[in-house]
Amino acid sequence: MPDLGTTKLDHVLSYICKGFEKMLELCAIAFLPAVVIEQLCIYGITHADQVISLLLVLMLILSAFAVREIRKLRRRK
Q: Where are the domains of the chain?
A: 1-46, 47-77
CA-CA distance, 5 to 26, in Å (whole number)? 26
Query: Per residue in 24-47, is it b (16+ CB within 10 Å) or e — as a string?
Result: eeeeeeeeeeeeeeeeeeeeeeee
Give the pLDDT of residue 67. 95
Distance of alpha carbon 44 from its chain centroid, rounded? 22
Distance of alpha carbon 12 from its chain centroid, rounded? 29
- pTM for the full model? 0.46
Q: Which pLDDT tens digit goes with each residue over 9-61? A: 988 998 999 999 999 999 888 888 888 888 888 888 888 888 888 889 999 99
Give the pLDDT of residue 49. 84
The vertex-26 CA angle with 41 and 40, nearest 5°, equals 10
Is the confidence at residue 2, as pLDDT, over 80?
no
